[in-house]
A and B are shown apart, each in its own frame.
Chain A
């Protein structure tokens, strides 16, 4: 027993002699959740409940970080993403986020999903000064650095989308007579505000009719007829999927056939255009900001192939046709960019500082020509997009990348 201990002590002594003195790194600084070996992050995802289709985003994140960790992580630190189910229920989000912040002590929150869920934790995370990064929702309120400096969204905001439509029309159809249909809630008004801001005072007279509907309305048929009767030749369709499909069908069946812009929320081929009738959807315009996995022009794109290979290798259960998986891949890359920029200063303050100073970041699966930018006074990460036209089978991007120009 004594010999053993002695031998071990000797070995340790020898080993410590053999080791060179640790190099004096530029001082490492760690906040909660960060160490020499690990960066701990947290998120809530609707793995169950009404929005469970989006749960695949969290699974893609896990797969992506698994790949990253196998390749050595970020500066030797492995990413540990704790992803908890909130069932799209705000009280559950509050509870889970409190667990992540107070018990698991994560460095930052990443891609918490859903507008109501994020609203529920908005105040809390800002009071706790936890980076609340790249929220998976399009509401414009996530960019409010003055009042909520710790919250920074990801998606192209609804207002930005509306602005881009307006700018496109001002440039390409300056004599348009615009009719607008919008859903009468925060989402619809957000997009509408963007359109009106984009048109400006001069363009406001182009709008000849503006009608709204309620989510409780059975159809939007009468609204479409009102717009048609107003003499509009351009239709901005600000709707959620069910009403989007109704509007596309009615605008065609009534013989109106305007230049028809449908917002991105309702641009799904499967859930909107197919029920509306693919033949009736030909020529629709919408806005995209990342590559559509179903768009044939990206079929042989090397970055798309790389993503497909990733899906095949790390996330076999995931559907390579589901754009959510591609979206999740991009958001994970954005986060990795921020963490790399942090270097050895992995404090919450520095994470937020780096997230708010992204300069001209290009990501392979964003549309070519697009860059991501933030600054301490501008938390809108994605400010650009490209219009796409529906060919009858899929969306096809065209023209240059447009920006809000803000």
Chain B
């Protein structure tokens, strides 16, 4: 069973950069890219000082979703495995952080790497058997995980840990005295730092040997195997890394929301994450941010347009985005930039 062709319509960013004939301008373009990146980071740092705390909180969630989306995008966009159950890893990460903080008094920042490790292990173990299934069959297996997890969290055997249906309320971390920031601003910067770190790691991973192996398995599984790529291992690893990203995001999300409960992690969360990567742009790192903006803000916009049928409006947005930007926002921007450059250099 081959992955759906739509997954292959967009070349990974690495491939685009190395197109022949552009070699001369590579140095110039990378300077420009670093400049643009620095500008974006500077903007992100200024943001929490110019908007209200409520908006800062929303943008913190955007950063959180962006991390989760990058994780899912590694699996789906780069490796061609569709997961409809990544909300489960998000939930495991969130619960790991909540339980550590609530029951063991672990400082909030330490819960992030622990949540990441827990999710990486769970993801890897889930990936071992599940990845024998391919394409749609895998997506159904992950869907099962996503549907089952909220109920498993209510199971009485683990209730003294998870708090059952009532969930766990956690205390929001205070900003350290020296920073002079509000709680929301501090958390935003924590999320921003974590996101930059995760994106930097992801960027290195995806454009290296493993990244190429992931893409090769997606596009030409037979050829990849012939080239000596250990397909099962790479797939399971990808699943583990992907789950780790999502788990770290879940932990950060739980700290920002200050509360976890089974109702927080319904299957709709998993679906939203899939929506996020497709809207943002498959196999694109920057797409994760666009996708995060979409899943954070569009439901609110839809709710403001129509109280009676917000999800119908949301659906219209989805169709509109897919129609105008079939390769996601990131793909759209890339194509637009390429056209603009071509026009500028006659």
Contacts and interface: CB of A to CB of B under 8 A. Distances in A.
Contacts of B263: 50, 88-90, 116-117
Interface in A111-149: 115-117, 119-120, 122-124
A50 B264 CA distance: 12
Interface string B214-254: 00000000000000000000000000000000000000010
B169 A123 contact: yes
A353 B211 CA distance: 62
A185 B164 contact: yes
Contacts of B54: 98-99, 101-103
Given A83-B307, A102-B52, A50 B266 contact: yes
A115 B311 CA distance: 24
A119 to B, nearest CB: 6
Nearest to A139: B166
B266 A184 contact: no
A117 B167 CA distance: 10
Nearest to B156: A214
Contacts of A48: 310-311
B58 interface: yes
Nearest to B260: A90
Contacts of A198: none
A186 B167 contact: no
A216 interface: yes
Contacts of B164: 185-186
A216 B264 contact: no
Nearest to A98: B54
B258 A94 contact: yes
Contacts of B167: 90, 116, 119-120
B305 to A, nearest CB: 12
B58 A95 contact: yes
Given A115-B166, A116-B263, A185-B165, A84 B303 contact: yes
A379 interface: no
Interface in B69-91: none
A90 B166 contact: no
Nearest to B307: A47
A378 interface: no
Interface string B307-328: 1001100000000000000000
Nearest to B263: A116
B133 to A, nearest CB: 27
B61 interface: yes
A53 interface: no
Interface in B36-91: 52-55, 57-58, 61
A90 B169 contact: no
Contacts of A89: 263-264, 266, 268
B293 to A, nearest CB: 14
A106 to B, nearest CB: 12
A85 interface: yes
A275 interface: no
B151 A216 contact: yes
A115 B259 CA distance: 13
A89 B167 CA distance: 12
A87 B169 CA distance: 20
A85 B154 CA distance: 25
B155 interface: yes
B333 interface: no
A48 B300 CA distance: 13
A95 B61 contact: yes
B301 interface: no
B23 interface: no
A258 B258 CA distance: 46
Contacts of B259: 90-91, 94, 119-120
A255 to B, nearest CB: 31
A215 interface: yes
Contacts of B307: 47, 83, 85
Given A99-B54, A119-B259, A87 B268 contact: yes
A89 B262 CA distance: 9
A99 B61 CA distance: 14
Interface string A208-235: 0000001110000000000000000000
Contact of B165 (A50, A85, A186): A186
Interface in A1-57: 47-50
Contacts of B165: 116, 185-186, 215
A186 B53 CA distance: 34
Contacts of B262: 116
A93 to B, nearest CB: 9
Contacts of B58: 95
B306 to A, nearest CB: 10
Given A47-B310, A83-B307, A215-B154, A119 B257 contact: no
Contacts of A103: 52, 54-55
A115 B163 CA distance: 13
Contacts of A94: 257-259
Given A87-B268, A98-B54, A216 B261 contact: no
Contact of B169 (A91, A119, A185, A216): A119
A116 B264 CA distance: 9
Interface of B: 52-55, 57-58, 61, 151, 154-156, 164-167, 169, 253, 257-259, 261-264, 266, 268, 303, 307, 310-311
Given A85-B303, A87-B268, A120-B258, 5 more contacts: A89-B263, A119-B259, A120-B257, A124-B258, A215-B165
12 contacts: A49-B266, A49-B268, A84-B303, A88-B263, A90-B259, A91-B257, A94-B259, A98-B54, A116-B165, A123-B258, A186-B164, A215-B165
Closest 6 CB pairs of A and B: A102-B54, A120-B259, A116-B261, A91-B257, A98-B54, A90-B264
Interface of A: 47-50, 83-85, 87-91, 94-95, 98-99, 101-103, 115-117, 119-120, 122-124, 184-186, 214-216
